[in-house]
Amino acid sequence: MEVKSITEQKSLLDTLAPGKRTRLRRLLFEFGPGHGTLMLLPIDQGIEHGPRDFFPNPASKDPDYQFRLAAEAGYSAIACQIGLATKYYPDYAGSVPLILKVNAKTDLPPAPRALSTLNASVEDAVRLGADAVGYTLYVGSPRQDEDLLQLKSVREDCDRYGMPLVIWAYPRGEAVESKGGQNSFYAIDYAARMAMEMGADVVKLNMPKIDPDKDKDSPAPYNEGGFSQADAIAHCVESAGRSLVVLSGGSRIDDDKLLDQTRFVMEAGGSGVIYGRNVWQREWNDAVEVVEQIKEIMLSSVTRVP
């Protein structure tokens, strides 16, 4: 039986203009596990959290570590900010696709009014040979209005240059907290739809958590209970429509859990995963090994789609 990917089923590529199709094909079929899947390596934690994330594995402080891992362990792409793309990607240009993240913030100022302003442009991505652009959208933030306006300019440039757009869709803000929280099924489901409607080609979601205590503050029908985590993931993937979905891992978790949730998202129709600390907070050999396991699960799950 031939492997047939979610991506083909979703027919996303069919609707894409040639530039986007060319570039996204590289991530889906030419690099990484292939067969229409996405295994992405993020190295933006140095900004989002600071260098503290590198202490568990001191080798990881040198950005070359993540670039080498992405290239040698066979990732679909590496995602980073302009500074790393400029000073470290040249050594790996062509060896692994680049997703240039164009906005960021530190975790120093408090988050209730979260907005990640631009620090790079789609033109930078084109110039650097990137195959996609990453944008972090804080759905529900009091500054969502500014966020959407900023995203518009990025989305338009992506259309202009045929650059695939990956949206990191994160629920944030007081209103989100009062309706179940940023990891609730309600909030993640909303974020998935929002990203799709705003023009994402790929949506990056955090794992939705079912928590009856908090979910009762969500609007109906989310507050009515009866949803399993598998349901929640499936709904979120469906809410993203023809946009591809990758699930993130967050801070380091147990390996079994990591692999389980990888299977979950693939079975739910997602396109893959984006794990950072769970991978590069390990010594080289250990990291390479877990990547192999992830890849296997991804491919074995994807085959189940007829």
Contact flag: residue 159 with a second copy (CB under 8 A): yes
Radius of gyration of the chain (CA): 18
Give the binding range for a second copy (CB under 8 A) out of 32-40, 146-154, 249-257, 298-306.
146-154
Contact flag: residue 34 with a second copy (CB under 8 A): no
Site string for a second copy, 219-238 (x = CB under 8 A): xxxx------------x--x
Please, which contacts does 232-235 make with residues 24 or more away whose CB atoms are closer than 8 Å? 232/185, 232/188, 232/189, 232/208, 233/207, 233/208, 233/264, 233/265, 233/268, 233/270, 234/268, 234/269, 235/185, 235/189
Strand 98-101 with 77-80, pairing: parallel
Give the binding range for a second copy (CB under 8 A) out of 65-73, 153-161, 267-275, 296-304.
153-161
Nearer to a second copy, 119 or 303 (CB): 119
Among 113, 114, 145, 150, smallest CA distance to 135 is for: 150
For residues 47-76, which are near a second copy according to CB under 8 A? 47, 50-52, 55, 61-63
Strand 117-118 with 103-104, pairing: antiparallel
Site string for a second copy, 169-208 (x = CB under 8 A): --x-x-xx--x------x--xx-xxx-xxxxx--------
Interhelix angle 229-239/185-197, nearest 10 degrees? 20
Distance spanning both ends of the chain, measured CA to CA: 9
For residues 240-279, which are near a second copy according to CB under 8 A? 241-243
Q: Does 92 qualify as catalytic in the annotation?
A: no
Q: Does 88 qualify as catalytic in the annotation?
A: no
The residue within the footprint of a second copy, chosen from 19, 57, 95, 119 (CB under 8 A), is 119
Distance of alpha carbon 121 from alpha carbon 217, whole angstroms: 38
Contact flag: residue 87 with a second copy (CB under 8 A): yes
Distance of alpha carbon 122 from alpha carbon 219, whole angstroms: 37
Q: Name the active-site residue from 75, 135, 170, 190.
A: 170
Q: How far is the CB of 154 from a second copy (least distance, A)?
A: 11
Helix (H, G, I), strand (E, B) or coil at 186: helix
Q: Name the active-site residue from 20, 204, 214, 295.
A: 204
The residue within the footprint of a second copy, chosen from 118, 126, 299, 305 (CB under 8 A), is 118
